[in-house]
């Protein structure tokens, strides 16, 4: 069931007053430095939680990446089992969606490399493919009319980054398969390095989406919580995943204001940390507030485990498969993302 369209996007925002030569205070409830007046475009980066078809393109073209200037079609066969959250943000707000996420992506293949048979190569990463693809498109003009392919005015464009699920997973940090001598700190630094590049390209409104509670996803969950993982010790795996996710999210919670307010790494930029961990946990704990399908509400099972499920039943599920949120969950994420860019979301902290 589709959630209703959201009405007028922006009301009056309270903006922190900043004295010359002083640092702005930390964001407090009801006060935000986020001052986006008009939301015209969303540029998104990440993995299969966001991908709208880039990995499919590679699969269908013998591992070749899309050409410069390629704007992917709207697809309903994403990893949510339907349309993905940036597309719903587009529907709810009218903001243009420029989606560079690739299924299977990590922040950097220099840290974690995973081979994918269907493209006869490693999954394209944020550092080596997604950011360069965006930069190439940003500088590309339509040969037919000479107009830029991307419509991304600095004061009206939001850049989102939601990566990490594959970085902390199997064949990566979870199984100690990262490059030698690297730690989770290196992964998180990679994320900010990508924001550095977006800042240089003119980005000024950044949304960092943290890791979801992966220990609740069926592939990593405890056996008594619907876990279906095949690791030798599912309990150890689940608790290690929980530890990794919470460590990274806690670090991001403090590093983001440090980089923004103290280190002055991004002068003039605005930041929102979108707490995906808390949002997905709330869906898990209070499903009746979010899920609305015709089947009994289910936050431990997943849609692909029941191939005979009717379309109206699918909105009862938090998970599409053992790792990916469902389309209904993506609608919720999109709805809450709109709240984030409005500047007053309970799931966001602003700087």
CATH class, domain 41-350, is alpha beta
pLDDT at residue 102 greater than cutoff 80: yes
* pLDDT, tens digit (0-9, with 9 covering 90-100), for 297-321: 999 999 999 988 999 999 999 999 9
Distances (CA, A) of 134 to 45, 122, 160, 183: 9, 19, 13, 28
Q: Is the pLDDT of residue 155 over 80?
A: yes
Domain ranges of the chain: 41-350
- According to the 3-state scheme, what is the secondary structure of 148-180? ECCCCCHHHEEEEEECCCCCCCCCCHHHCCCCC
Pair 342, 334: CB distance under 8 Å: no
pLDDT at 18: 29
Residue 232 is predicted with a pLDDT of 62
Please give the share of the chain, as a percent, with pLDDT higher than 70.
90
pLDDT for 11-64, tens place per residue?
A: 333 323 223 333 333 443 334 589 999 999 999 999 999 999 999 999 999 999
| E-assigned strand segments in the chain | 41-46, 96-99, 115-116, 121-122, 157-162, 205-209, 270-274, 298-302, 317-319, 348-350
* pLDDT at residue 32 in the model: 54
Q: Give the pLDDT of residue 288.
A: 98
- Interval 110-131 mean pLDDT: 97
């Amino acid at each position: 069931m589709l959630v209703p369209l959201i009405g007028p996007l922006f009301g009056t925002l309270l903006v922190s007053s900043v004295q010359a030569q002083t640092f702005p205070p930390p964001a407090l409830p009801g006060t935000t430095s986020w001052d986006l007046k008009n939301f015209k475009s969303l540029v998104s980066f990440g993995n299969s939680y966001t991908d709208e078809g880039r990995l499919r393109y590679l699969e269908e073209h013998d591992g070749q990446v899309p050409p410069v200037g390629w704007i992917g079609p709207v697809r309903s066969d994403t990893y949510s089992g339907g349309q993905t959250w940036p597309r719903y943000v587009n529907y709810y707000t009218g903001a243009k969606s420029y989606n560079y996420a690739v299924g299977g992506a990590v922040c950097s293949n220099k840290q974690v490399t995973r081979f994918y048979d269907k493209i006869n190569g490693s999954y394209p990463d944020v550092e080596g493919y997604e950011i360069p693809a965006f930069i190439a498109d940003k500088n590309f003009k339509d040969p037919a009319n000479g107009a830029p392919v991307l419509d991304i005015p600095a004061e009206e464009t939001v850049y989102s980054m939601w990566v990490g699920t594959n970085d902390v997973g199997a064949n990566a940090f979870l199984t100690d398969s990262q490059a030698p001598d690297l730690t989770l700190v290196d992964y998180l630094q990679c994320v900010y390095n990508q924001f550095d590049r977006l800042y240089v390209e003119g980005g000024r409104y950044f949304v960092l989406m943290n890791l979801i509670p992966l220990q609740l996803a069926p592939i990593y969950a405890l056996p008594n919580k619907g876990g279906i993982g095949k690791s030798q010790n599912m309990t150890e795996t689940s608790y290690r995943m929980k530890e990794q996710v919470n460590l990274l999210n806690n670090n991001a919670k403090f590093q983001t204001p440090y980089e923004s307010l103290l280190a002055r790494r991004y002068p003039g930029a605005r930041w929102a940390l979108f707490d995906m961990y808390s949002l997905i946990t709330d869906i898990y704990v209070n499903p009746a507030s979010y899920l609305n399908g015709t089947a009994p509400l289910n936050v431990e099972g997943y849609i692909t485990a029941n191939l005979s499920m009717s379309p109206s039943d699918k909105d009862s599920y938090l998970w599409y498969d053992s790792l990916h949120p469902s389309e209904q969950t993506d609608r919720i994420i999109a709805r809450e993302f709109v709240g984030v860019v409005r500047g007053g979301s309970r799931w966001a902290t602003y700087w």
